[in-house]
Structure 1
């Protein structure tokens, strides 16, 4: 029966506080009928197959009628007029859960309820266990870890593992975790009994959604390797279907991130997430002491610090991202990595799955620490003319007190020479750090008004045999802004023209300072195309279109060398001049380089022309051309999917646009007579891609017929326009017979609806139609382009309404 539990207490003011809780005590074995209209008891709410479910249904003293509904695959209905005991042995088909619902009428009132019995898909769980690993490591240490993956019966399984390790302090900005996706069925009763409150009648019905083999499930898919930590902010919308993954990428472009892919078998991907670094504080009290210049008692420490301690420079926030690790015959996964040098706590995540979608997840934390740790607290940048306090926490996690010397060095990031003109360029300060506590030291420095190069801030500490140091590079920004005014100087042959630089002669500002006047002349505009080739070669990512662009640049460069030996001779001369300091330390830090270009672009201008010449000269070196062609064409072939399409990045789904982009590029190179584009490997890539694209254009047409679309309306858009343009370059392989009708239909669409497109697409259609013997329509397009163009003596001919992107 019912019981009351009463708790009494007094608050600090002496007032009595009473809390009551009512509870019903039920004896399942008793045959006594409860006073309540209906009570339901289950021995467990979560069971496994081959376990017994025991449910006791007790009704009140009056005659009752209970209707119980159970769901696994199909509903079951049972009527009761008295207390009942239900025993059920669960089987494999009950996985996904069982729902019981009931409806009960008593004394002109309707009672209903529901009980959920969980039967998990435990047979699909993988057990991830550490075989070898350590949770406390030194910064920069090389490690080898081994994980064991087993099935739910402890058997070895063949599985793929995704593993990552990143700075756990980033979770304070935005939590990151891998949700375990599941394709397992959940048995849910989707309807409730609906009871009419009128006396004398009760209307009820229940329903169960039809179980379908293909169930769309919306989910967020993140590609960390594409945009670093920006993937925490830019989720990529996808749709999952049981038979495969399909969808389209939506949303804003993600910020740039640096991604390097090693050639090792593990295919390690290191993602650098740029931003403010958040360091993990060491537990313990912080003791701040006034830092005084070192006296004679610290002479020994000063002498020792002259042998400079090693400094930590690799402070990236992602240690590794390994998307494709495979188990061995015993279910073990072994991988090697080198930790970054940051002193922090790292978050490890691992997700494993088998081909039949058994999954497992493991998460843990490790720490990188030293007995003596230097943790600078630095600004994100320095500004000309500012006085800045540079401070650092020095932590001691050893068993004894430490006394030593802290040292600050400021270096020019371009030359690594010590800086002068700063108030305290090289100062040593004493510190005392008690056991398991921290202290701070600080310096005040002045940034000269005329200093523009980035500053390397190097802080080191030494106490006996314990040393540590950390190095960071900070950009120096200015209060000035570079304004560039340009004036085109178009001069035709046998012509004399006068130009006035009004922006240069009319300067109303008192603070304006002229920086440079540059006149650039070229007798052949093709030179600008040559200057752009190194840019294509320096694309940083391993996505399909950038791999192709590197091949494109190599192929064009080799073609130019073969056609124009005199051009090659000029490049050879450039390569032998001013080769010293071609690559500075600044260029190795992409984040810093971007900041410099944004804040002080004139600083880099002086190096641009000479550096550009060296880049072009290096591009046209014969042995590098051959190696680049082979490497990039090989990578491109490896990325092509069996159906002939290309993904954007490895592991992603087919991308029609990327496939047409690459096929069009190869076709254009062949049209120009570039030998590399007609090689056996390039021909195989193009043939497979055209086979895929021919099927796609046929699928477009078939969908119109299937949906009974009005074929006279416009159904041509960018993908079909690009296909027609691509096909105009290629006669071999020819259009398949089964795709010919689709091709002819979209040619008809192009003739009818070309005015709907922008000038760029009109130009592509004009070429495609002209090559396809539709000269009349091509001439109409060319006439339209000439009429809508803007003609200007200085700017030449251009179109005003050219949109960006595609």
Structure 2
């Protein structure tokens, strides 16, 4: 790490020389006490600990008597010191950026103060100081001075500690912060999934992708029980990453089924808890980041792989946390309360709060509740039932409106409604009964023209409504179009999403699995379909939230909920035999992770020996990086994104946008322009723009927007700006948002990515560019 434009620098392993209590609690709310009672003298005593920020605070209180006489008080309080440091820290760093931190030193004393400002960067796990910069300063009485200290953000770290200390002969002050470090690289994954159902020895080989790649990690997973794939995908969805109804409903589902799986496997839970006690608590990122949710959020936005378990201790701890039933129930309840709060007065749900009720989203939420009942073995409470009945009334009213139209066509909307309504056959249809009968009749007649997904939903629906003959005809039709082979199992070669499709290939496949399971009741076909499904898994999940939820549901629906295993496997990577410990043998699940330093060419060869003719699944994943600045804009496709930066300058005719082709200065206003083009109508689009670390968004509050000819929800986060677009017709659209320049240095801008939420294969990204701030 190198320093720039400062007086002295040193790299050291030692701790700070002077012992100083650093300020590190910067919470913005000191306390909130909603119910305080006075003593016999009418006095209320409030006990609290003041945070460490030096700033102004507002104290507000409301007091009332039993007769509702009341009074209000509002006061401002200032916390300060004689000497204070006020560093201008970014929300995050990016690996490889050359940044200059400016620290204001405030001298509130009546004397001239001379001293030193020390900047330290340290590893928060080991407290090892990686860089120490020392700069002299002089501050006049009752005045401020500014100190600049520069460095290059190191590679291969995801969190860095930052201490800024000012000291004189009379006073000292210091702050300590943990700052996320987002990558200047793109994570790529090459996977070798496999399926073995016969005893004997088999060998697999993972080809190297590129001689210039920078390896990150090699991961081997082998299991004799595919339920582990569902279980290990749960953590990625346990807490919604965005406040949209799809993510929140998914969190409700996975915590519901997680709680059920934990209940059904007490022996596994006890064994994992024992192993955790034997190994001790992990001191790695898991514990650090759980204490700092803001830091964790930035890493999830930009580099979620750093949150994966790095060693066996962390793996056991993450499993123990996964099966913590108190935590599961708390997360489930939190998600339920959010779902309840987002339900509109008409009973429907919208994608984001403030958008109008949406039939598709309402069907999705009810589908989630139904799936939780089937695979989580829970009926829900009275509030949950009333909420679902209210939503059904909304859907019944919508289908009635469709029926009252002159041209009564059967479209995807009605097919989805009939499928969701089939879960709730005990709830009367009321005025929608005639419309429901009409569309059921159309489905019986017209199923031949349906897509794969619509056929699967219709088969399940008709079977539930007592029409098994037609349901089996549809199933036979699906089977005719299926492809079956030893390597991939049973799948549909024409299972491809269209641009307008609201269903990924995973969701189509799992809908067919459900139909075969419910109508046929034969595991032979679903086991073959499971083979294809497990090959599509991408390390932690199936690519996006809806696909992962449906994959978990299909695996739970078509299998048992017991996680333990009796089969013995012999596994070797290259010449290294994988030692199976007690946990691996009992769980029937092996996971071995090799960091970059341990990866060698021979590890690309995997050998597995089985002693029984039972199925085993697994995959070998090679994850590696490509430099962000080397990533080129994706070639023109169905969905396209282009990112450009402009400086906003004031002129006599008003603000003008000038293309960014020169260096910037602190205080400049930059407009980020994202141009989106698509050659067909699409639904539920996610546009994500990763900002450079030197930018601070002008707009700080998330909310619904109506601009550029479309309605969308704009979400402002520390590292990214998200745009969630409900419907985007064919054409070209321009999205813009302003940012302030607030840090000197040289920074790599992030990529803009656009993707269909329900057909994730439709994705495009922009290129990155370097930004210089003088």
Question: Structure 2 length as normaliser, TM-score?
Answer: 0.49
Task: Answer with 1 or 2: which has the greater Rg.
Answer: 1
TM-score by length of 1: 0.47
Q: Which has the higher contact order (CA 8 A, sep 6+)?
A: 2
